[in-house]
Amino acid sequence: MINVIYEDNHLLVVEKPINVPVQADSSKDLDLLTHLKNYLKERYNKPGNVYLGLIHRLDRPVGGVMVFAKTSKCASRLSEQVRNRTLKKTYYAVVEGRIDCSGTFKDKLLKNSDTNTVSVSNKGKEAILDYKLLGYKDNLSMVKINLKTGRSHQIRVQFSYHGYPLYGDQRYNKNALKGEQIALFAKKLEFDHPITKERLKFELELPDRYPWKIFS
């Protein structure tokens, strides 16, 4: 069951569950986009295909708040907000080590589509994020992150590259143990309603599990 946070004739805001792909991939597992289309089809008894625009993405192991567009006009307007950065995404993460109180990472990231991995490379695209330390305990730092760009795997790669890999990141943290869940969460989303222009803000509680709980 998907947690629907907000819905009107134009938008659908939901909490993406962890370990669910946003869209269909090679795993053939039921993806969030298909699940939500089925939800709309059944709820409103719609015949044929249901339109639902994908505006942004979260990595499969990452949970948190996402917005989808119910019309192509809304999809276009929300995508424009992504491009001009008026759509703001705030993430929380738990990283290994004691990080500075605040800072900015600016790197160039290159994606290898064959391995679905990302690395820092002069041949890559610019990736920028700001972070702020919220707590430190047991050699773990909890940080709030504001993305300035939206590159694939950006948070995971940049923090790992700078010596602070995310707790439980099976791909970019060599210390992660099998079975650990990545400590990255899309906590807050802000954007202008594509029709009414009202500024909307949605925020979720952090997961009720380790290592998040040690900072509560």
Tell me the CA end-to-end span of the chain in Å, nearest whole number: 27
pLDDT by residue (tens digit) across 25-79? 877 888 999 999 999 999 998 888 899 999 999 999 999 999 999 999 999 999 9
pLDDT exceeds cutoff 90 at 7: yes
CA 148, CA 204: separation in Å to the nearest integer? 21
**What's the predicted TM-score (pTM) here?**
0.94
103: domain CATH number?
Answer: 3.30.2350.10
- pLDDT of amino acid 48: 84
CA 34, CA 17: separation in Å to the nearest integer? 14
- pLDDT of amino acid 4: 97
Q: What is the mean pLDDT of the chain?
A: 95
The range of the structural domain enclosing residue 113 comes to 3-215
- pLDDT of amino acid 54: 97
Number of domains in the chain: 1
Strands (E), the chain: 3-7, 11-16, 53-54, 63-69, 88-96, 102-112, 117-120, 125-137, 140-147, 184-192, 199-203
Residues 98-124, mean pLDDT to the nearest whole number: 94
Who wins on pLDDT, 47 or 14? 14
Residues 93-116, mean pLDDT to the nearest whole number: 95
CA distances from 26 to 20, 111, 116, 135, 187 (A): 13, 18, 12, 38, 27
Instruction: For tokens 């759509």, name the residue.
Output: 87
